[in-house]
Structure formats: C-alpha cells, structure tokens
Amino acid sequence: MRAMDWMDVRSMVRSEEGRDSAGDRLKPEPGLLDGLNEPQREACRHVGGPLLILAGPGSGKTRVITHRIVHLITEGGVRPDEILALTFTNKAANEMRQRVERLLPGVRGIWVSTFHAMCARILRREIEVLDGFTRDFSIYDTSDRNALLKKVIRDVGLDLTKFRPAMVGGWISDRKNRDFKGTSALEDLTGPPGFDEEMLGRVQTKYEDAMRAANALDFDDLLIKSLVVFDEHPGVRDVYARRFRQVMVDEYQDTNRVQYLLTRHLASGHGNLAVVGDPDQSIYAWRGADIRNILAFEEDFGAPKVIKLEQNYRSKGNILKAASAVIANNSARKAKSLWTDAGDGERIAVIECGDENDEAREIAYQIQGWKAHGGRLSDVAVFYRANFMQRAIETALHLAKVPYQVVGGVEFYARREIRDLLGYLKLVVNPSDDVAFSRVVNVPARGIGETSLGRLASWAEDQGCPMLAACRSAEALAAIRGRAKKGLAAFGELVERLAPIRDIDASVAIDLALEEMDRDRWLRAMDDGTGIEDREANVDELRSHAAEFDRLNPEGKLRGFLQDIALVSEVDGLDEELDKAALMTLHAAKGLEFQLVIIAGVEEELLPHARSLAESGASGSTWDALEEERRLFYVGMTRAGERLVITHAGTRHFFGDQRWTRPSRFLDEIPPELIEGQAADGDEEDVLGVYEPSASAIQLAVGDRVEHDHFGPGRVEQLQGSGVNARALVRFTHHGTKQLLLQYANLRLVGGAV
C-alpha cells in the first residue's frame, strides 16, 4: 500500500476550491424560479437533508436539477466546487452543465459527470493506494476487453466458439458487480459450480491478472476500484465526502449496487443527498440496475423530503392516459398521476400488419405522411425490442427514400483508422497496455507476423514485463529474425520518441503521432479499392474533436481526451442536427423525446420478450422480469409528444423460421377508447377513411375515381381497415397501383364510380 500524505491531498482539494469558489460573486438571471411549477420550486428550495424527487417522464427533471444547483449557489450558501451532480450519459451530463452555465454565466468548479467519469477522475488521483496500478492506467472499452479475453480464453485452452469473448465478458461483469465486498450474495452461483462456471472462473482470474499487468481498467473496474478505495482507505473517502456538501444523482432508478454504495460514501459526511428518478422507468436490470435502490430510499436515508413531479410537458393527454393505464399493472412502483394542460391530442394508432416486411412498409408510410404534413424527420423515432428487427425497417425506409440514422452507439470509434490512431495514443500514455501494443505494432506494416509476435509475448510473460518493454530488449529480440526483428525495434523507438506527447494538448499530440506514423502511408495501406477519402475525413474529425476538447478542458491534455472518448455511450451517437428519422432499440430510447414515435413488433415473445416469459413462475423474482418489460414499453410510449403509433405483425421471421405471432398482452392494457378505430366498448368503428385531425379525410367506396397531388388520377380498387388503419389500393393512370394510408393521402373525389 502506498504511503499517503493526507495533508498534501487536503491541500490539493483546498487549492481547487480556492480557484473555483466564486459562487458568492455570481449572479443568476432574475426570477430564477419564476418559470417553474410549485413542486419544481419546492425541490429547488430544499437545501438540507435527503430529498427524493419522483419525476414522471417529461416532467422537467433536468430543469429542476439545474435550477436547484444555481439556487444552492446563489441562495443556499454552497460553493460551486462543493456540488457533485451525477448522471448516466455524457449527453445528459453535457446538457446539464450547459444549462447551469447559461443560468449562471462564469460558474466554475461544479462536478457534473457520469458515474464512470467521476470515478475515472478520482482514480487518476487516488488509484496508487491500490497495489499494481498507476495513474496512467488505460480504460478498456468493450472491444479492448474482448480482445484481451480472446487471448486469455486461448491461453486457458478453451474453445472460442463455446466460450465467446463477449459472453465471457458479460459473465465476468455480472460476477464482479455482485461478488464485490459489501454487495449481495451470488444468488445464482450457489452450490458447487459446474464445469463451465469453473472454467469461467479460471478465465476471470487470468483476465484480472492481465488487466493489472497492463495497468488497465474496464468500465466495471472504474466503479469497483473507486469503491475499494473508499472502503479500504476511509481517509481518501472523507476528503471527497467533506468536499461535496451537496450530492445529486439523476436517474437514480438506474443505479446498481456499486453505484448505490458509492453514493452512500459520498453523502456520508452530511446526508445532503438529492436523488431524482422514476421506478416506472427502471429498465436496466440486465446490466445490474436495482430498482430497490429508489423504492427503499425512504428507509435507507431516513424520512427524506419526497416531491412528485407529475405535470408532463412533452406528451399529449391521450398518450399519457394510455401509458399510465399500462404501467398501473405493475406492483413494484410508486404511484403518480401524470397530467398535462396541452390537450388530449390524437388517439393511439395500433396497426396490425401481415409480416415484418408489411410492418416495415407501414412504418415508412407513417413517416412519409408525417413529412407530407409538414413534420420534421428529426422529430421521428422508430423503436424496436430486438436488433434483428432493424433490417426490414431499414430496407423499407431505403426503398421509400426516407432518410434515417441508426442510433447504435460508438460506430465512429469502432472504425479501423480511429482505433489504430487511438491505439498509438493509448500505448504512449500507458506503455503497459498490451492490447494497444498488439493492435498497432504492425500498423503500418513492419513485417511482424503472428509467430514473431507470439515469441515476443512469451518472453514478456516469462519476464513479467509489458510487450513494449520486450521489444526494446536485445535478449527478447534475439529469438526473432529478419524484418520482424527490425520492425519491433523500430516500433519501440517510435513509441519512445512519442513519449513526451502524453503531457500536451490532445490535438497537438495527434498531429505529432500522425507524423511519426507516416499518416499518408498508413492510410494508403488501408485502401480497399474505394479510396481513402472517408478514412482521411474520419481522422480529421477526430483531430477536430480533440481541438474542441482542448478548448473546453485546458487542463485535460492527451490523458483527459482518451478518458473522455473511452466513456462514450450509446445515446451519445444520436445527431439531433440531422433531419433524419432515428432508429433504435427501446433501451437506447431512454432520456430522449420525439414528436412521432413508432414502436414496432409489440407482440408476445418480443415485447414482452420471450426470455421474461420463460422466467415467469421459475422463482420469486420472475414477475419482476415481466414488469421490467412493461416498464420498457412505458418508456417507449412516453417518448412521444404528438403522435404514438404501435405496430404488430401476424407472422415474423425469427432466425430463419417464420412464426405466427400474437399481439402483446400490453396492448390489452390500453383502454379501447384511447385507440384509433375502436369505440369505448372495444368494437371497431365501421367508418372507412375517417381521420379526425385531417380536414381533408373522405369516405370512399370501391370504384370511386380519385385525384392525388403527386400520382394524379386513379381508381379505388380495394379498401381495408378503419380509422388510422384505413388504407386504399388505388390504380393510377400513369403510376400503376399504390397502397395509401387514407389519413395522409389527401385523396379527392373527382366523379362517380366506374
């Protein structure tokens, strides 16, 4: 254990406070709380003791958090550097930070970040109290983790087709989070382990050893190592607990056990903990979120102030009524009464389709109609429960010429040229990072084959040193011949020349690294016949991003930049400036809002997912799995502002097999009077083509002659459906047969039937 000079630590913290404690000189805009409703104002005025804010969807919780921060500084006697605000995505943290700065120009020193970013920041200072790590540690993303696990699985002698790195990584993540000192027992690992679990345990041990040798942390480690520091070194914990007099946690229902314990540590000195959340939006149990953290907040933190934010500023009344009716069927919740003064709006569209291709075409029709009525595509989102559903939807949108973007996360950072460049930078900052070394040692090509690399790795493992150090050793290189030997030696020299860039601005560091790498040669080597323009543009984009990081974070340097991009989340991939419809899973939709939302595949075994149905009745916790599926549907519904469309198919292909499907049980929980095309008693309305919000809707009969703004004259050949489902098959004189949704077609009668 490293000896720690606590006076130095406290001095460091006080020094930061001295620079950032200008709160008493800052003035907010006049009437800070005037635009808030009464529960929002009450939450902002609360200063001392625990606070639970139950915030329904669209109820302005981010506004409350940011206004409360400013109120604490200007009226509550709290310095900016004494405030810690935690959330779950970079997007949410950045928005929160920007709102505070707009409300209180010139404010500095507030810690507004994700849990992972906060822990990385703390560990950059404190990790050396733990054996085996230094402050220059690398942060391994999922791809890095899987690359290391692939090697470890091979070393243990296991079959990679059975023990897939992604699967093994998920198992290790789950075990690390629940097998941590102070967390609950491993309920699903009781009794003697089977062969697979025994082998997985061996892989985990070697993986942890390799991570320590590489001076690297994965995402789980950022949280867990921070908790170890706080648990085993209370002096360190006390420094941060005393510094942060006010701790706020957004999306508290999404916290896992480790985040819960971290929060307790940070609020231990004063009890001024404010959490904001909604049990009805807890949808991440599969990655460790524990809904009990928010359900039991009153018991855990002793008679907190409880404030409910129930006025919704996003959705029309019928959407809220439908969503509230669905979620009321859950038992693990805290009751709320959502309301809006924006009017009822349209009823919910529930559309039955033939198969997934028919469903995808229907989705394209809906989006085209929205666009035809003046709607922006950037206000449209299509949600689905499983990624495989994306293919049919993409195909239909492509054929319909509907621009779209898939919100799937970190595609930019997964591109080869970006991973190569980042690999160089990571290795320079952390010379022990063997994953980064293996990625870039032969980039550009240096004649280093797998055999030579294997010999180097074996020597390094025997000597207990990183591979980069090995390629600078004459003894290690003695067993390697020819071009590979020269290539390894040259690579070692190159990284050594780059060593000074670890302490300079990220953009300058990238420029120098590209120069040493011979940028043009490196990019040309990746040319697959399609040119290198896109790869050049991607490298330039990374450099521009680094320059912006330098501007906003002058103290961050290269280390801070690498840390920042290592923590990119899925939702951060949404580009709201593009006028394109967004496609994403329901899980990725959390925290977003759109005017038109289409939820596809609302069927049994999809939503609720077959996994939750299979679990029901198997144990005491199985009903929770079904309730989480209902919460997921509720989250999707409440992303919609103006219009909500729900689709389901009669048949669907699952992994090559066509299956008959049944509508989801959740659809039966929506009151019939809230659904287009249904009367209050559940009977379908029998008026074809009626669409309430459209003044141009008409009643049609087969044989009617009609006129369309784009397709011109035609004749109605078939009518089907009712209400929002009403469609007409029209044979146009010059454009052939088209199927049109009557609510959007704006057809005009031009004569009698023919």
Q: Does the annotation mark 263 as catalytic? A: no
Rounded to an integer, what distance in angstroms lies between the CA atom of residue 117 and that of residue 98?
A: 17
Q: Which of 41, 61, 97, 176 is catalytic?
A: 61
**Annotated active-site residue in 263, 281, 368, 638:** 281
Nearby residues of 438 by Cβ (< 8 Å), 6 or more positions away: 147, 453, 467
Rounded CA separation 256/227 (Å): 13
Which entry of 10, 62, 125, 415 is annotated as an active-site residue? 62
How many angstroms separate the CA atoms of 504 and 353, rounded?
A: 58
Distance CA 187, CA 176 (A): 13
The phi and psi torsions of 175 (rounded to 5 degrees) equal -70, -40
Q: Which among 626, 741, 611, 628 has a CA at the least distance from the CA of 689? A: 741
Query: Which is the catalytic residue, given 145, 639, 643, 727?
Result: 639
Alpha-carbon distance values, 626 to 174, 604, 614 (Å): 20, 11, 10
Pairing of strands 305-309, 83-87: unpaired
Is the backbone of residue 712 left (phi > 0), alpha (psi -120 to 50) or beta?
left
**Could you confirm whether 61 is annotated as catalytic?**
yes
Residue 557 among the catalytic residues: no
Q: How far apart are CA 273 and CA 84, in angstroms?
A: 10
> Using CA of residue 609, residue 611, residue 615, residue 621, what is the dihedral sign?
negative
Residues 6 or more apart whose CB falls under 8 angstroms from that of 399 comprise 364
Tell me, yes or no, if 651 is annotated catalytic: no
385 is catalytic: no
Gap between the Cα atoms of 177 and 198, Å rounded = 18
CA separation for the pair 118, 140 (Å, rounded): 16
Distance CA 632, CA 254 (A): 13
Q: Which two tokens stand for residue 479?
A: 């067993």
Please identify which of the residues 250, 362, 505, 628 carries the catalytic annotation: 250
DSSP string, 475-536: HHHTT--HHHHHHHHHHHHHHHHHGGGGGS-HHHHHHHHHHHHTHHHHHHTT--SS-SHHHH
Active-site annotation holds for 590: no
DSSP state of 683: P
> Catalytic residue among 126, 141, 251, 362, which?
251
Both tokens assigned to 592: 């977003």
- Using DSSP, state whether 644 is helix, strand or coil: strand
Furthest-apart CA atoms within the chain: distance in Å: 95
Enumerate the active-site residues.
Answer: 61-62, 250-251, 281, 639
